[in-house]
Amino acid sequence: MSQFYKLGLSYEIVQAVSECGYLEPTSIQIQAIPALLKNRDVLGKSHTGTGKTAAFGLPAIEKVDPSNKQPQILILSPTRELDIQIATELRKFAKYKEGIKIVPIYGGESIENQIKLLKRGANIVVGTPGRVMDHLRRKTLKLDDISMVILDEADEMLNMGFKEDIETILEYMKHTYQMALFSATMPPAIMKICEQFQHDPVIIEIKSAQRTIDTVHQVYYECKRGRKTDALRVILETMQPNLTMIFTNTKKMVDDLVDELNEHDIKAIGLHGDMKQQVRTRVMNQFKQRNYPILIATDVAARGIDVDDIDLVVNYDIPQDNEYYIHRVGRTGRAGKKGKAITLVSGKSQQRFIHEIAHMTKTHIEKETLPTSAVLIERNQNKYMEKVIEACSEGIDSESIEMANQLLSKGVSIENLVSALISMSYKPLDIDVTELSDSKQKVNKIYQGETLPLHFNVGKNQKVTPSHLVAAISEYCHTKSDIIGKIEMKGSYSIVHIQKEKAEEVLEHMSLCRIRNYDVNVKVDEGQGYKVVRKKKTGSRKETTKKRRTRSNR
């Protein structure tokens, strides 16, 4: 039975939380939920992965009066992705609380659609500061009935330049309200907001969940859309792990992936929420006993699994929540052992997730490439030969020897016999590795000089400084700042000179990042002063003469 009932939550909330797979509250939930239910302000120092969404979300839902269609809870977060994640989680928690409406509002989406949703009624509004300000200016969002304000990842909002927006939003409310503020760090600007807008807050400090993944080697592979299963087969064939957990986002994908791996003689078993407890127990026993060394599961179904020997975790699907990533990766590298976590990535948005999660957890997620076909063939052959040698060591079977002698008596040579038997029993992998990669196009232009000028689409107009650029390049590319040369700040763009051998890496990683809440686009600059050396086009003398005549006739 879920232990959340001890925190003073209603039966409806506890039931919904239990169905989400949460049985034991985390440290921050134990401390924050009772305080918030008693209308105390809360100041929480906590990283993502500690369960803070439920820590503030469950009390927020409890405080809503469904008969009042006006916004009663306002949650501010730095990004649209986090907005969506919070709203999704809160809807699950409010499953048995009839009439509660949760509306996320953020930039990059039609504001008219959001206005319609707000007009229909919104008890809990989850928004980015910029879009909340847009609605306040249009008077499409009213804060008169707000009783609780939550600032999630407050330090990130300040880093992205939202300080003035946050202060303006809070000053809109002239009445008394409860405030919960959560931040991974507590810089002076955060403390100033606390002093100005909070009253005698309960202070909670939780150590980072990052500690649980320190012993895990985290990598990702880029592969084409629709080819993740083939990439997975290549990885499993190459690594030969003893015990593996593979995570997908849906029950159907669990079943489909189990079937596909088993069709290729890869022993896998699935676990998801539609299974009865008796079946779940049987599946877990099969996995722990290594009868099926690969377990494919959804996040909810995997909660409560306690296996210390898992040496590989694979994110087949990108997690729907940043916290899920930490929970998944934490399945390996336990009990002082080393582990490996692999994420399969297709497309730009999934690549962005990798860089965001690396930034959030302050860890390095290394990009690796799939082995070449030649390496894969060699390993597959070695694996087959090991099985043959093992079979030979088990002794001579009289029936087999009799059949072999009969074949030899019919004129079949020993060489032909061995070759035929290998051809019949050896199964090469039916995957062309060269077709799986989704790597970026290489930089193919040769520039004169030691550095390559790169054009960033952010500049002085976006209040971006050279220090912002240096910090972002160092962080997202996991490199030292000495690869950066001269930086030229312009109005709407910047030119950054990068060591030529590092330019390709910067082009790849920086096109997926954000600086001061702006999506960054990076390209090679071909502007003034930078001569591009290109191969001269050759043509026939007749063609050249024709071009000259054409120009002279203009």
Q: Which residues touch 123 (CB under 8 Å, ≥6 apart)?
A: 64, 65, 66, 68, 69, 70, 71, 72, 73, 100, 101, 102
Looking up residue 66, the CATH number of its domain turns out to be 3.40.50.300
CA 225 to chain centre: 16
- Residue 532: the pLDDT is 38
pLDDT digit string, tens, across residues 477-489: 877 767 888 888 8
pLDDT-based confidence at residue 165 (cuts at 50, 70, 90): very high
pLDDT band at 296 (very low <50, low <70, confident <90, very high): very high
Burial (CB count within 10 angstroms: exposed 0-12, middle 13-18, buried 19+), residue 277: exposed
Report the CATH number that the domain containing residue 494 is assigned in CATH: 3.30.70.330
Angle in degrees, 0-180, between the axes of helices 11-19 and 80-93, rounded to the nearest 10? 120
Residue at 82 is within a domain: yes
Look at the chain and count its residues: 554
Is residue 544 a part of any domain in this protein? no
Residue 101 pLDDT greater than 80, yes or no: yes
Question: What domain range is 348 assigned to?
Answer: 211-367
CB atoms within 10 A of CB 327: 19
Residue 548: the pLDDT is 40
Q: What is d(CA 75, CA 42) in angstroms, rounded to the nearest whole number?
A: 14
Residue 400 has pLDDT above 60, yes or no: yes
- Residue 541 within a domain: no
CB 117 within 8 A of CB 44: no
Tell me which of 390, 405, 434 is where a domain ends: 434
The answer to whether residues 401 and 204 touch, using CB atoms and an 8 Å cutoff, is: no
As a whole number, the mean pLDDT across the chain is 83
- What pLDDT digit, counting tens, does each position of 304-324 carry? 566 778 999 999 998 876 767
Cβ(499)–Cβ(483) under 8 Å?
A: yes
pLDDT above 60: residue 547: no
Confidence of residue 527 (pLDDT cuts 50, 70, 90): low
Task: Tell me if 448 sits within 8 A of 533, measured CB to CB.
Answer: yes
| Angle of CA points 400, 405, 409, to nearest 5° | 150
Q: Are 217 and 341 in contact (CB under 8 A)?
A: yes
Q: Do residues 154 and 193 lie in contact, with contact meaning Cβ atoms separated by under 8 Å? A: yes
User: Tell me, what's the pLDDT at 158?
Assistant: 86
> Where is pLDDT greater, at 364 or 14?
14
Calculate the CA dihedral of residues 491, 493, 497, 498 and round it to 10 degrees.
150
Q: For residue range 33-56, what is the model confidence (pLDDT) as tens digits?
A: 999 999 999 999 876 557 889 999
Asked which of 23-32, 177-186, 325-334 is least confident by mean pLDDT, the reply is 325-334
User: Can you spell out the DSSP letters for 197-221?
Assistant: H-SSPEEEE---GGGGGTTEEEEEE
What does the pLDDT average to over 496-520? 84
Q: Facing residues of 221 across strands?
A: 344
Domain boundary among 333, 367, 401: 367
Q: Are residues 193 and 215 in the same domain?
A: no
| Same domain flag for 200 and 168 | yes
Residue 393 sits in the same domain as residue 474? no
The residues near 512 (Cβ < 8 Å, ≥ 6 apart) are: 348, 351, 352, 355, 476, 520
Judge if 26 and 175 occupy the same domain: yes
Quick check: 554 pLDDT over 80? no
Structural domain contains residue 545: no
Token reading at 12:
């409806």
Contact 41, 200 (CB under 8 A): yes
Please tell me the predicted confidence (pLDDT) of residue 218: 92
453: in domain: yes
Average pLDDT over residues 268-296: 87
pLDDT digits (tens, 9 = 90+) for 133-159: 999 999 999 999 999 999 998 988 887
**Residue 241, Cβ neighbours under 10 Å: how many?**
20
DSSP 87-101: HHHHHHHTTTSTT--
Higher pLDDT, 146 or 541: 146
Single residue among 367, 383, 418 that ends a domain in this structure = 367
Which token pair is 380?
């597959």
Examine the domain organization and report whether 137 and 265 are in the same domain: no
| Cα–chain center distance at 236 | 21
How far is it, in rounded angstroms, from Cα 159 to Cα 174? 27
Structure tokens at 198: 């909070």
pLDDT in the model for residue 440 = 44
pLDDT at res. 194: 93
* pLDDT for position 207: 65
330-352: pLDDT as tens digits:
888 766 678 899 999 988 888 88
Residue 228 and residue 334 in one domain: yes
Regarding whether 193 and 54 lie in a shared domain, the answer is yes
Q: Identify whether 269 is part of a domain.
A: yes
CA angle 116, 146, 181 (to 5 degrees): 110
Specify which residues 344 forms β-bridges with: 221
pLDDT the model gives residue 336: 65
Residue type, 487: I
Q: pLDDT value at position 438?
A: 58
Residue 546 in any domain: the answer is no
CA atoms within 13 A on the CB side of 454: 30
Non-local (6+) Cβ contacts of 549 within 8 A are none
Averaged over 285-295, what is the pLDDT? Answer: 92
Chain position carrying tokens 């390996």: 332
Do residues 302 and 313 touch, judged by C-beta distance below 8 A? no
**How many whole angstroms from its chain centre is CA 100?**
29
Token digits of residue 321: 């929540």
| Contact in structure between 217 and 340 (CB atoms under 8 Å) | yes
443, 504 Cβ separation under 8 angstroms = yes
Tell whether 388 and 403 lie within a shared domain.
Answer: yes
Provide the domain count of the chain: 4
Q: Is residue 441 part of a domain?
A: no
Q: Are residues 220 and 202 in the same domain?
A: no
Same domain, 11 and 88: yes
The CB density around residue 163, as the number of other CB atoms within 10 Å, is 17
Instruction: Determine how β-strand 522-524 pairs with β-strand 102-105.
Output: unpaired
- Above 70 in pLDDT, residue 436? yes
Top mean pLDDT of 183-197, 334-348, 471-485, 511-525 is at: 183-197
Residues 513 and 501 in one domain: yes
Tell me the C-alpha distance between 157 and 170, whole Å.
14
Q: How much is the pTM?
A: 0.49
279/355 Cα distance (integer angstroms):
38
The predicted structure's pLDDT at residue 546: 43
Do the beta carbons of residue 322 and residue 152 sit within 8 Å? no
Residues 102 and 132 in one domain: yes
* pLDDT for res 468: 79
> Which residues have a Cβ under 8 Å from the Cβ of 230 and sit 6 or more positions away?
223, 431, 436
pLDDT reported for residue 550? 42
Separation of CA 510 from chain center: 17
The span from the CA of 453 to the CA of 503, in Å, is 9
